Amino acid sequence: MTEAYDTLIIGAGMSGLAAGIRLAYYDQSVAILERHKTIGGLNSFYRAGGRDYDVGLHAVTNFTPKGAKKGPLSRLLRQLRFQWEDFALAPQQQSRIAFPGVDLAFSNDIRLLESEIARCFPHQVAAFANLRSQVLEYDDLDQAAFDISTRKVLGQIFSDPLLIEMLLCPLMWYGNARVHDMDWGQFCIMFRSIFLEGFARPIRGVRLILKHLVKKFRSLGGQLLLRHGVKEIVSEQGRAVGVILDDGREIQAKRILSSAGWVETQRMMGQTDEVVDEETGQLTFIETITTLNCQPAKLGLSDTIVFYNDSDRFDWRPPHHDLCDLRTGVVCSPNNYQYDDHEQLSDGIIRITSIANFDRWSSLSEADYRREKMVWYDRSSDSAVRFVPEFRHHAIDTDMFTPKTIRRFTWHDNGAVYGAPKKRLDGRTQLENVFICGTDQGFVGIIGAIISGISIANQYCLK
Amino acid sequence: MAPEEIREVIIEILGDIAPDEDLGSLDDAVAFREQLELDSMDFLDIVMELRKRYRVQIPEDEYVQLASMRSTVSYLTPKMSEVAK
Ligand SMILES: Cc1cc2nc3c(=O)[nH]c(=O)nc-3n(C[C@H](O)[C@H](O)[C@H](O)COP(=O)(O)OP(=O)(O)OC[C@H]3O[C@@H](n4cnc5c(N)ncnc54)[C@H](O)[C@@H]3O)c2cc1C
C-alpha cells in the first residue's frame, strides 16, 4: 500500500475541487476521488447530438463587478488565486418574478426591484427597506439564528402576503432544501446572492469554470481520480484511516473531506439507514432544454430568468400524486446575458425547470420513463408559455433530464438538488478527522459550494 | 531577515492575496482590517504563505499578533532572524 494522503476528498464537484485547490496550494498531498467518469457533480456538462449542454447552469449567483472587494465572489477568487477575468462572467440583462396579474422585474441593481415594489406594492416600500437591513445584519456564522422560520419573520415585516410569496419564489427556487418554509440563514444568503449581488454567466458555460478549477488543482500537484467511487470509510478508534473503493482497493489518508452528502457519507461510515434516521432532501426537478433556430429575444423573450407561479400562493414542495408539479417553474435563457463585444451563443436556448417527484420518476419502467419524458416536456412547456412567449415552433433540438438522471450521475439521495433540509454548518462528523463540505454543509449553488469547500478546508485541514 | 525585509515580504504576500488593494498607502500602525478588505480567510493566508515560503510556524492562538504591519513585523523579527530572503 502506498503512503497515506494528507487529505482525501470525496467528490469532484464545485466544493471538492475548491477544497482540493486550497490544500494542494499549501503543499498537502491530496487526491479527489470521483465515482463518475467526469467532473462537476450537480453542475457538470455533456455533449449530445453534436451540441454542448450544461447540466445545471442557469446563472452564477453572487455576481459583483471587477474590483469589488467584498462578497463571496471576490473572496473565492482571492482564496483560489484566480483573476476576475478567469471566470469571464457576463452580467444578466433583467429577470422577472411572474405571478397572476403582477410582475416584479429585477436586475443586478437592487434599485430596479425597489422601484417595482413601489409600483406594485406602494404600501410595502418601508417594509422592504426594513427586510433589506435585517438581511444585511444577519451574521453568516450565527448557527442560532440560522434555522428560524423565514415565513414567520416575513409575516412580521410585510402586511401584504402576495409580496411575501413573490419574494420567496426565486430565493426558494435557487437554494431551499426545506419544504414550504426556509431557514432564515439560507434566506439571507440567497437574498444577498440574488437581489443584492446578482446573476452572471460565462459565455462558454459551466465548463469554463470547471476547466479552471481542474487545471489549477492539477498544476498544484493534486490528483484527480475519476471512476474512483468510495464504498466505505475505514476507521479505527474514532478516526478515519482511509477508504475502500467500489472495486475493493484501499487508499489511506490522514483526513477525509466528503462532498457526497451527509446521509450518503454516514452510510460510508457504516451507519445503517435506521441509525442515520435523518430527513433526506426531497426537492428535485425535471429540466427541459430546447434549442431554437433563432435568438429568444426575436420571439419577445429578453428576460434572463423568469420565475413563475400561477396562483397567489407559492407552494414549495414535491408533488405527491403526480410526476411533476407545474404550477411553478423557472425559465432561463442563457442567451440573455450581456456578453462582451456583443458575442452571442449561436443557437437560442430555453431551459425550463419544474418540481418533480423522485420516487415516481425512478419507479417507471424503461419504456414508461421514455414516454413520460415526452409527455412532461410538452406539459412543462405548456405551463411556461403562460408567462413567456411561445417558442416551440422554432425548436430544432430538445433534451431533458429528470430526478433519475440527477441521482444516476451524482448519487445524491432522491436526486435532491439542494441536499438535506438540516444543514451542518460546522462540517463535523462523529469521526474526528472526517468532515463534510458542499451542499449539506450549508452552502448551495456554484458559488456557495465553492465557498463551502474553501472554508471547510481552511478550518479543518490547514490550520 | 531584517525588519525592513520582513515588511517587504508581507507586502508581497498581501499583494498576492489581495491583488486589488492599494498597498502603497498602508499605515503600519493601523490594523490591516481597518485599511484593507481582509477577512479571516485572508488572515489565514498570511500565516499559510509564511509557512509555505519561509517555513515559519505560527500557532493559531498567536494569529492576533498579525493585526497591523507594525505588530506583524515585530512579532516575526525574532522568528525570522535566521531566515534568508
Ligand atoms: C438542474 C440544476 C440546476 C442548477 N442550477 C444552478 C444555477 O443556475 N446556479 C447555481 O449556482 N447552482 C445551480 N445548481 C446547484 C449547483 O449545481 C450545486 O449546488 C453545486 O454544484 C453543488 O456542488 P457540491 O460540490 O456541493 O456537490 P456535487 O456537485 O454533488 O458534488 C459531489 C460529487 O461527489 C460525487 N460522489 C458522490 N458519491 C460519491 C462516492 N461514494 N465516491 C466518489 N464520489 C462520489 C458525485 O458524483 C459528485 O460529483 C443547479 C443544480 C441542478 C441539479
Residue of B nearest to A455 (CA): B41
Measure Cα distances from A36 to A105, A144, A198, A381, B52 in Å: 39, 37, 31, 31, 33
Residue of B nearest to A25 (CA): B52
Query: Nearest-CA distance from B15 to chain A in Å?
Result: 10
Query: Nearest-CA distance from B55 to chain A in Å?
Result: 11
Round the average pLDDT of chain A to a whole number and report it.
95
Is the per-residue pLDDT at A2 higher than 90?
no
Q: Which three cell numbers stand for residue A295?
A: 435568438
Delineate the domains of chain B, giving CATH numbers in brackets. Answer: 3-79 (1.10.1200.10)
Query: Nearest-CA distance from B21 to chain A in Å?
Result: 8
Q: For residue A13, which amino acid is it?
A: G
CB contact under 8 A, A462 and B39: no
Q: How far is the CA of A260 from the centre of ligand 1 (A)?
A: 9
Among the partner-chain residues A26, A70, A454, the one whose CB lies closest to the CB of B48 is A26
Q: Is A449 in the pocket of ligand 1 (CB under 6 A)?
A: yes
Per-residue pLDDT tens digits for A256-301: 999 999 999 999 999 877 666 677 899 999 999 999 999 999 999 9
pLDDT of residue A1: 52
Per-residue pLDDT tens digits for A336-380: 999 998 899 999 999 999 999 999 999 999 999 999 999 999 999
Q: Does residue B5 belong to the interface with chain A, where contact is any CB pair within 8 Å?
A: no
DSSP A108-121: SSHHHHHHHHHHH-
Low-confidence winner among A110-124, A264-278, A383-397, A417-431 (lowest mean pLDDT): A264-278
Q: Does residue A139 belong to the interface with chain B, where contact is any CB pair within 8 Å?
A: no
Query: Nearest-CA distance from A209 to chain B in Å?
Result: 20
Separation between Cα atoms, residue A181 and residue A287, nearest integer Å: 23
pLDDT of residue A463: 81
Q: How far is the CA of A194 from the centre of ligand 1 (A)?
A: 19
pTM check: above 0.90: yes
Q: How far is the CA of A20 from the centre of ligand 1 (A)?
A: 16
Q: Does residue B52 belong to the interface with chain A, where contact is any CB pair within 8 Å?
A: yes
Q: Is A16 in the pocket of ligand 1 (CB under 6 A)?
A: yes
Separation between Cα atoms, residue A230 and residue A10, nearest integer Å: 7
Q: How far is the CA of A410 from the centre of ligand 1 (A)?
A: 7
Distance, CA of A46 to chain centre: 17
Residue of B nearest to A463 (CA): B60
Q: Select from A117, A198, A208 the least CA-distant residue to A164.
A: A117
Among the partner-chain residues B16, B42, B44, the one whose CB lies closest to the CB of A462 is B44
CB contact under 8 A, B42 and A26: no
pLDDT of residue A139: 85
Q: Does residue B43 belong to the interface with chain A, where contact is any CB pair within 8 Å?
A: no
Residue of A nearest to B19 (CA): A78
pLDDT of residue A204: 95
Which CATH class for the A4-87+205-279+418-462 domain? alpha beta
Is the per-residue pLDDT at A52 higher than 70?
yes
Task: Tell me the mean pLDDT in the region A388-393.
Answer: 98
User: What residues contact B27, with CB distance under 8 A and at least 6 apart?
Assistant: B35, B69
Is the per-residue pLDDT at A330 higher than 70?
yes
Distance, CA of A289 to chain centre: 17
Residue of B nearest to A26 (CA): B52
DSSP A300-343: T---SEEEEESSSS---S--SSSSEEEEEEEEE-TT-B--GGG-
Is the per-residue pLDDT at B21 higher than 90?
no
Looking at residue A220, what DSSP letter applies? T
Which residues pair with residue A95 across a beta bridge? A106
Task: Tell me the mean pLDDT in the region A24-36.
Answer: 97
Q: Is A15 in the pocket of ligand 1 (CB under 6 A)?
A: yes
Positive or negative CA dihedral for B29, B35, B40, B43?
negative
CB contact under 8 A, B37 and A70: yes
Q: Is A405 in the pocket of ligand 1 (CB under 6 A)?
A: no
Separation between Cα atoms, residue A444 and residue A340, nearest integer Å: 28
CB contact under 8 A, B45 and A79: yes
Per-residue pLDDT tens digits for A87-146: 999 999 999 999 999 999 999 999 999 999 999 999 999 999 999 999 999 987 777 889
Mutate to test the pocket of ligand 1, among A43, A206, A331, A409 (most ligand atoms within 8 A of CB): A43
CB contact under 8 A, B18 and A454: no
Q: Is A281 in the pocket of ligand 1 (CB under 6 A)?
A: no
